[in-house]
Structure 1
């Protein structure tokens, strides 16, 4: 089933229509063109904001690609600052991965660059700016520079009636000294890595927001998702936030989780709500079996009321949208694992200790990996073909969505609970908790490892893995 057959109304057509082949560029024709330029986003008729986006929209267009089929992308930068476009979740060389740390070439101000890459693996990926922002909240992941990539592996059975690409987003970020993390979802422990003596120095400024949307519309604005009883919805969710992890639900309905970060899970589970760290994707199938008008959105009321939601309307149901709080159950990756699977044994282990220094960068906190901020000069050397285990010990009071570029890893343990078979590229390491992942070093070149919360990454929370 194609997107054109789904019958989805705006606002989703704007951000979800599959991008057509690009206009010709000098010399030859690219498969896609992304133009970085200022855009306006009408979250609501009374709230229009200005940001930087792709192709005059934010989020950018869904890019549908074929696994293993090489493509070219022309990136045109109509802004006054260098830009980087990162292909999150792709197994591609560092020179096209779109990060300064991996020596990817930036797209110069008022210039362009052509990238050639081979998409893969199949599934839900995404693209976004990887420029550092530091104290400029109008740069990098704080802008509207993000969009879905869907890599088609050719084996989609098409057992659904509508396919939706829904990005969770916060806007108009600001610095604050008081930040509530009510939707963190990992504060119930066990606190395996909580230090015996806590640093009680005053916290530095952090980034927050009070304006939210799904795609380009706040809850109550734009058209609803229109459905009919008996339909099956396939929804690709993305947490495109630069700031926060989020839990969401569709009131009155259950979601069958079939893939995490675009990778099919060994054991699909049907749940009342799902939790996404910044940068994570979750694919769900929902049976539309409860006629009415419902809200799909954040389980946190203040966030939902501030825009993070969309109305789902059954045909012939002229009612007010309803919200029903789902049961409060902690998120557990291990539900999706293969209990009896035998995974390759790791050959080497790398211990990674995460710490925060309150006010370590003047007004802002600094973040350490193994006692130091980035860079870690030749500290993490990988041998081609070796199976590694990363033991991530979070000794901070935040839950960190950790991402390793250009590799996929298998979750082996979360807070002491073992699992196998769950393949991801981003994992939330719980508050004062521990996560263990295994991966094979099979992507030679530089690979960036970092927290996907922009401010944390900018202020030291990253490391560079190298192949020896």
Structure 2
């Protein structure tokens, strides 16, 4: 994904055909403006990873544009064309369409057959950094994902360079073989225990991720044995990867974004990994985190930010006045392995950067989550309805919500107009990034402690911990609620939220 300044972006809208004239400030009750239909083609492409060719999926416009840039206040008018020889379906992650256009197979729509097309048309109510990805089988592991950026017309006059980066975890292996191995049917190459990576890492995991009271080392709470792993013991990873990618590239050949000396940059970062939480490391730069999952937060200044699966980070950088080159990294939690990209001025010297950090980073937890404060929070109101979703696991790589796998689940019921709270109680050996479709929610409690946290759509629930979210039931339909670790979802970790009349 190429970067451009706001001036360049506005000058190019007529050429790319995805946007119309810049509308006035968005008023939620104002009808969305018409926009030209944009075609997204689902196809394959070949990329090179560590000197080897790999065939992966693509989500591109006919002119080769990866993903989509649109503008709040217009309509999302997209034709999705399936050019594969297999079924697929795309979810518009972060957007809030009617439920029939949400892109979840057999819940909102049937899968899209080879050679067929679906037309989507709904208003874009709010700006934000979002993404699109397959919700069919394990296609997401083969990079069927792309950015979906909705720009804010109120920021049209700002001279800020947008840089969009989509991160992935990559494997040359067939995802179905990986899942079979995880279920005990073969070599899963799974089970990176925290204690195998660096001395004391498990203790740090207990300190940074676990709730007060420590960690259960027994076999209770549904603990299971992943390959050679001890039952019931907390761990970080259950899938090995060949590489980690930033816009399809490793640090052997990173993407270099040319920036202006002393310029302002907005990083729009998307964790599109299927099974990997990262630490986002700005290196020598310091940034201001201004939005998560496309929703604004009070700025948090720092150099490192926790970055769970499916989450997005918007970070503002004011670059130094002189020439230079600044690598930005995404480091896999609990490890040294990393990927990244480089910001460089026209005369900045880009040096080769190692694919591993100097030392392993800590597990991703909720330290950042506790600091986040929404600038557009929910109105103060008591909950009309409360649900508890208990997360457990069972032998055979089965992940359960309220004791049931998807297909055997009982839907969570809500009614339009209610304020709803859901408490996720994780009794398993891993943390889980929980995503609710069709809504944005506010994080209102961590391990039972009430907070006024961020508004977002995906939150990490720590092993042996709990997180409570609140949202207004304002989008009737049948909505998916699931763990965004792809293999956990494939192992049953999905339920539905359904509106009752």
TM over 0.5: yes
Contact kept? 1:76, 1:112, Cα under 8 Å: yes
Give the structure with the higher percent strand.
1
CA distance in 1, matches of 2:425, 2:387: 11
Whether the 8 Å CA contact 1:343–1:421 is kept in 2: the answer is no
Query: Which is worse superposed, 423-432 or 310-319?
Result: 310-319
- 1:402-449: CA deviations, max 9, x gaps? 000001100101234432151100001112211110011111110100
Indicate yes or no: 2:88 matched with 1:83: yes
TM-score between the two structures when normalised by the length of structure 1: 0.84
Q: 2:351 aligns with which of 320, 340, 360?
A: 320
Cα 1:316–1:464 shift into 2, 3 Å: same
Flag the 1:340–1:378 CA change in 2: closer, same or farther, 3 A.
closer
Match of 2:233 in 1: none
Contact 2:40–2:67 at 8 Å: present in 1 too? Answer: no
Instruction: Give the aligned CA root-mean-square deviation in angstroms.
Output: 3.5
Secondary structure, counterpart of 2:370 in structure 1: helix
List aligned pairs for 1:369-384, cutoff 5 A: 369-384=401-416
Taking the aligned partners of 2:307 and 2:41, their CA distance within structure 1 comes to 28
Give how far 1:64 is off.
1.8
Number of aligned pairs? 440
**Contact 1:375-1:464 at 8 Å conserved across structures:** no
Match of 2:42 in 1: 36
In structure 2, distance between residues paired with 1:394 and 1:164: 35
Indicate the residue corresponding to 2:219 in structure 1. Answer: 198
- Give 1:261's aligned residue: 293
Q: Is the 8 A contact 1:19 1:64 kept in 2?
A: no
1:245, CA displacement in angstroms?
1.0
Distance 1:60 1:408 in 2: 28
In the alignment, is the contact (CA less than 8 A) between 1:19 and 1:62 conserved in 2?
no
Deviation at 1:379, TM superposition (A): 3.7
Instruction: Report the counterpart of residue 137 of structure 1 in structure 2.
Output: none
Q: Distance in 1 between matches of 2:353 and 2:410?
A: 54
Displacement after TM superposition at 1:338 (Å)? 6.0
1:399 pairs with 431, 445, 459, which one? 431
Secondary structure of the corresponding residue to residue 332 of structure 1:
helix
Greater mean deviation of Cα atoms: 159-168 or 279-288: 159-168
Contact 2:276 2:333 in 1 (8 A): no
Which runs of structure 2 are paired with 1:5-404 in the superposition (5 Å)? 5=5, 20-21=16-17, 31-43=37-49, 46-55=51-60, 61-133=66-138, 140-156=139-155, 159-172=158-171, 174=178, 175-180=188-193, 187=206, 188-191=208-211, 197-199=218-220, 201-203=224-226, 206-265=238-297, 267-289=298-320, 292-300=324-332, 308-318=339-349, 320-321=351-352, 331-337=367-373, 343-359=380-396, 365-404=397-436
> Which blocks of at least 5 consecutive residues in structure 2 are unaligned?
19-34, 179-187, 229-237
Work out the CA distance in 1 between the residues paired with 2:255 and 2:266. Answer: 18
